[in-house]
């Protein structure tokens, strides 16, 4: 495999605690029904512009919804420095792929600005040729636009390209884009949900990626 496209949250970066705390704080600040930890974890693979409406028990008008997103972003930025971390072996595997001449990308459901900030905070931004955030696409995961943008921009061979992610949305996106897929079991959706999507590969340790 030559081209590796990674999801970020739940795949490279362990941001679950940060996301859960920031989300619950935002809903609570607006006196809304607070989503459970499991609800938040399930929707971590898609943008908050979609997931926050899905998780809301009440109907949200535009003003309230806009305030909810802004409140979440404020809390997330405050929390991320103390709660964001790399999953085991991510740094070593990225370095080995990079040194081997592989081309690495990120397609994430978070905004590009926050994604870049997170990659830089974790000292892995230099490994990636390009990143795609939610604000770079017109259609969110599981739509394949994020992958197809990279395929077109860098003239990638789909037969030599793989999407790696922890959520069913990532596997569905890879299937729709016509590239290989690799589910990782340590993120939000776990082995059973990922296996049901029939990924090309399913791994339980980041180091297994080096054998594919």
Task: Return the DSSP state at 9.
Answer: B
CB 3 within 8 A of CB 159: no
Is 157 among the residues known to form the active site?
A: no
Q: How far is CA 173 from the centre of its chain?
A: 12
CB 195 within 8 A of CB 202: yes
Q: One of 7, 14, 166, 170 is an active-site residue; which one?
A: 7
Q: One of 9, 14, 166, 170 is an active-site residue; which one?
A: 9
- Residue 188's closest CA among 15, 4, 5, 72? 15
CB 54 within 8 A of CB 44: no
Is 9 among the residues known to form the active site?
A: yes
CB 166 within 8 A of CB 150: no
In this structure, what token pair is assigned to residue 62?
A: 């535009």
At which residue do the structure tokens 């080096």 appear? 210
C-alpha 212/C-alpha 210 separation (Å) is 6
- Residue 144's closest CA among 110, 170, 111? 170
Q: Which residues are part of the catalytic machinery? A: 7, 9
């Amino acid at each position: 495999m030559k081209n590796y496209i990674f999801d970020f949250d739940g795949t490279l970066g362990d941001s679950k605690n940060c996301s859960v705390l920031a989300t619950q704080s935002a809903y609570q600040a607006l006196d809304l029904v607070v989503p459970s930890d499991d609800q938040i974890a399930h929707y971590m693979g898609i943008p908050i512009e979609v997931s926050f409406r899905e998780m809301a028990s009440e109907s949200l008008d535009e003003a309230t919804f806009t305030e909810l997103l802004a409140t979440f972003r404020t809390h997330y930025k405050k929390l991320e420095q103390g709660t964001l971390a790399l999953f085991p072996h991510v740094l070593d595997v990225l370095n080995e792929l990079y040194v081997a001449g592989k081309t690495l990308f990120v397609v994430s459901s978070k905004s590009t600005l926050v994604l870049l900030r997170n990659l830089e905070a974790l000292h892995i931004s230099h490994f990636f040729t390009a990143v795609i955030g939610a604000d770079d696409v017109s259609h969110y995961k599981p739509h394949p636009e994020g992958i197809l943008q990279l395929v077109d921009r860098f003239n990638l061979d789909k037969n030599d390209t793989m999407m790696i992610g922890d959520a069913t949305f990532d596997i569905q996106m890879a299937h729709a884009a016509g590239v290989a897929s690799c589910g990782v079991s340590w993120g939000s959706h776990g082995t059973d949900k990922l296996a049901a999507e029939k990924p090309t590969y399913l791994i339980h340790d980041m180091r297994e990626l080096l054998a594919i």
